[in-house]
Chains A and B, each alone.
Chain A
Amino acid sequence: AQSVAQPEDQVNVAEGNPLTVKCTYSVSGNPYLFWYVQYPNRGLQFLLKYITGDNLVKGSYGFEAEFNKSQTSFHLKKPSALVSDSALYFCAVREGTGRRALTFGSGTRLQVQP
């Protein structure tokens, strides 16, 4: 069975400061990892993914994430937070083969203060 843990319900950061949203996962075989963002009353928007290759992946809106196989983590980062980054962030995982559906974490609300 696959699972995702997002240990922080909320992350608060000042505008201009770096941000990190944590994610750890459990999956059989090679993981496909994803980050999505959800703004109020909107669907999920894809930010970035890790399938294979370079452990540091870059995505939309200046976000990046680092895949760490030994720690089974895939933390989302941004060097300088914007107020407009305030939203709900979901980490998701699926198996490389077999089950194709995504398993989502519980979500982390990011609040960027001006």
Chain B
Amino acid sequence: SAVISQKPSRDICQRGTSLTIQCQVDSQVTMMFWYRQQPGQSLTLIATANQGSEATYESGFVIDKFPISRPNLTFSTLTVSNMSPEDSSIYLCSAGTDIAEQYFGPGTRLTVT
């Protein structure tokens, strides 16, 4: 199994600012993804983080708002840009190999005031 860490674990940010969330995996993985979750609710996929190329975004999510980097097989960042209170959520990084299960980080709880 893969162990995934995220930083920061939580943050309170002001409207209009940006926050970058880091995701580190303890082993090389094929796939990395970013999800968003409201507390107690289901997960919504934001994008697939592609190594060395632009991320693949889901409908409703755009690169200008959620820029993603993945410089190597074990690390990715998600930036939440020009934040508004609607961006308050839990952001989860996940990673896995092609045929196996995906593992999830502990999440980053973001509150925008």
Contacts of B92 in A (CB 8 A): 43-44
Pick from B98, B99, B101: contact of A46, CB under 8 Å: B101
CA–CA, A10 and B41, complex, Å: 12
Residues in A25-63 with C-beta less than 8 Å from chain B? 32, 34, 36, 42-46, 49, 51
Q: What is the distance, in angstroms, from A41's C-beta to the closest C-beta of chain B?
A: 8
Q: Does B43 belong to the interface (CB within 8 Å)?
A: yes
Taking CB atoms, residues of chain A closer than 8 Å to B43 are 44, 90, 102, 104
Annotate B6-30 by CB proximity to A: 1 below 8 A, 0 otherwise. Answer: 0000000000000000000000000
Whether the Cβ atoms of A42 and B45 lie closer than 8 Å is no
Q: Is the CB of B102 within 8 A of A43?
A: no
Tally of contacts, chain A with chain B, CB under 8 A: 50
**CA A11 to CA B102, docked complex, whole Å:** 25
Q: Taking the nearest CB of chain A, how far is it from the CB of B107, in angstroms?
A: 5
Given known A-B contacts A46-B1, A106-B41, A107-B41, A100 and B31 have beta carbons under 8 A apart: yes
We find that the number of chain B residues with CB closer than 8 angstroms to chain A is 22
Nearest CB of B to A21, in Å: 14
**A101 close to B99 (CB less than 8 A):** no
Q: Complex formed: what's the CA distance from A44 to B107 in Å?
A: 9
**In the complex where A44-B92, A51-B99 touch, is A104 in contact with B42 (Cβ < 8 A)?**
yes
One digit per residue, 1 when the CB lies within 8 angstroms of any chain B CB and 0 when it does not, for chain A 79-114 equals 000000000101000000000111111110100000
Q: In the bound complex, what is the Cα–Cα distance between A106 and B38 (angstroms)?
A: 11
> Are A43 and B33 in contact, CB atoms less than 8 angstroms apart?
no
Residues of A that sit less than 8 Å from B by CB: 32, 34, 36, 42-46, 49, 51, 88, 90, 100-107, 109
Given A44-B92, A102-B33, 9 additional A-B pairs, CB 8 A: A36-B104, A43-B106, A44-B104, A49-B101, A90-B43, A100-B98, A103-B45, A106-B42, A107-B40
